């Protein structure tokens, strides 16, 4: 019960992709059921959280990398659920969630990428876009909000703009959640039926639904024209919510694992700082700290080794045992040196 194919391969848009025959109730690459998906998702969530923390730490120490997740999909496809259930597994400090609605007057006065650019994730962050610049070739096209020549020119412009982001250190992942017409009907009906869900419904949803075919055509062109090597589209079947959430979790975890974020190496002398800090601590506090050292550091080592092993596994790397062991040995040696230093400081005080 796990992935039989890397979902990035199973869901990535290729030249022969055909949205018209795309099965929105399918579960490509995964052979488990809902319960198995939820168990695997929780496990991946822990790994994703740790990788995200490393990326965040890297950004704090002058790193320039970030991850941008563009989420598109028609109403009820589950974009909100991705923000809540997938991104909810990582530290909110490291996530920049932005939604894009109808442009304000100020936004309309600028180039359509202006408001998008302002919302890009800062280094170390995961940016999540709930709708994006792709609305400028989707709703704008379907509702005729701009001349055809205007929106037609945007596909190339978007590709070029995304290429610049990638060159500047951003990893760009685009996911499109695709529900079937029947499933959207059921989900909209549920929003009308349930008093606690009516706030999610707007009469405009029916007008959008009435233009189903036009939207499908516009989405097909987005996939055909803007899925690039540097910023690929993954089309996610979204009739089964447990699958779409799991698939996006897996895509993001594998993407983060491939980025290989590392804990930054301090630019100060740790032993020297420890000695200085110790001079400000009482004997009792220092003794308690010494007692705790082994347990707290060993727990951190175990956790890091696990993460490293899982990440290497996801990257399909060989010799994971050896590489994880090398890290473990280095950190264990560091731990022994730490304990020895603390003991020495305490002894010198007594002496
Ligand atoms: P949601 O429907 O996702 O809950 P909102 O109620 O804020 O969010 O509405 C989003 C609406 O804004 C959608 O109907 C979408 O088509 C529209 N929208 C987003 N970007 C643009 C744009 N660039 N031009 C016109 N309409 C846009």
pLDDT digits (tens, 9 = 90+) for 23-51: 999 999 999 999 999 999 999 999 999 99
pLDDT grade, residue 319 (50/70/90)?
low
131 touches ligand 1 (CB under 6 Å): yes
205 touches ligand 1 (CB under 6 Å): no
Which residues 6+ apart lie within 8 Å of 342 measured at CB? Answer: 274, 278, 286, 289, 290, 293
Stretch 176-194: mean pLDDT, rounded? 98
Which residues 6+ apart lie within 8 Å of 280 measured at CB? Answer: none
* Residue to probe by mutation, ligand 1, list 98, 139, 187, most atoms within 8 Å of CB: 139
Q: Which CATH superfamily is domain 7-259 in?
A: P-loop containing nucleotide triphosphate hydrolases (3.40.50.300)
Q: What is the helix, strand, coil percentage profile of the chain, to 5?
A: 60, 10, 30
Q: Are 244 and 29 in contact (CB under 8 A)?
A: no
Per residue in 233-257, pLDDT tens? 999 999 999 999 999 999 999 999 9
Task: State the DSSP code for 3.
Answer: B
- Specify the residue for token string 């983060």: 256
102 touches ligand 1 (CB under 6 Å): yes
Mean pLDDT estimate for the chain: 95
CA-nearest residue for atom 2, ligand 1, is 75
Domain boundaries, the chain: 7-259, 270-350
Identify the CA nearest to 293 among candidates 266, 264, 332. Answer: 332
Q: Structure pTM?
A: 0.94
Is the pLDDT at 99 greater than 90? The verdict is yes
22 touches ligand 1 (CB under 6 Å): no
100 touches ligand 1 (CB under 6 Å): yes
Q: Which ligand 1 atom is the nearest neighbour of the CA of 143? A: 25
């Amino acid at each position: 019960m796990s992935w039989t194919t890397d979902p990035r391969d199973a869901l990535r848009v290729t030249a022969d992709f055909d949205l018209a025959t795309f099965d929105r109730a399918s579960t490509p690459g995964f052979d488990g059921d809902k319960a198995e998906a939820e168990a695997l998702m929780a496990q991946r969530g822990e790994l994703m959280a740790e990788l995200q923390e490393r990326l965040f730490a890297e950004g704090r120490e002058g790193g320039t990398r970030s991850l941008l997740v563009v989420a598109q999909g028609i109403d009820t496809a589950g974009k909100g659920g991705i923000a809540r259930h997938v991104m909810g597994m990582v530290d909110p400090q490291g996530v920049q969630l932005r939604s894009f609605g109808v442009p304000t007057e100020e936004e309309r006065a600028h180039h359509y990428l202006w408001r998008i650019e302002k919302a890009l994730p800062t280094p170390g962050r995961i940016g999540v876009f709930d709708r994006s610049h792709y609305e400028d070739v989707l709703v704008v096209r379907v509702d005729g909000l701009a001349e055809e020549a205007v929106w037609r020119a945007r596909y190339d412009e978007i590709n070029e703009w995304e290429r610049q982001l990638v060159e500047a250190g951003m990893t760009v992942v685009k996911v499109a959640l695709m529900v079937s017409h029947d499933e959207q009907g059921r989900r909209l009906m549920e929003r009308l039926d349930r008093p606690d869900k009516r706030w999610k419904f707007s009469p405009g949803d029916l007008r959008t639904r009435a233009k189903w075919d036009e939207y499908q055509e516009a989405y097909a062109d987005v996939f055909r024209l803007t899925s690039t090597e540097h910023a690929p589209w993954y089309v996610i079947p979204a009739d089964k919510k447990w699958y779409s959430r799991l698939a996006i979790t897996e895509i993001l975890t594998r993407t983060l694992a491939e980025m290989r974020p590392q804990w930054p190496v301090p630019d100060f002398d740790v032993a020297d700082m420890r000695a200085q800090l110790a001079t400000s601590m009482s004997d009792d506090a220092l003794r308690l700290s010494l007692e705790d050292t082994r347990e707290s550091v060993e727990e951190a080592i175990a956790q890091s080794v696990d993460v490293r092993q899982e990440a290497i596994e996801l990257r399909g790397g060989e010799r994971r045992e050896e590489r994880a062991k090398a890290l473990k040995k280095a950190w264990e040696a560091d731990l022994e040196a730490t304990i020895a230093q603390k003991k020495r400081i305490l002894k010198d005080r007594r002496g």
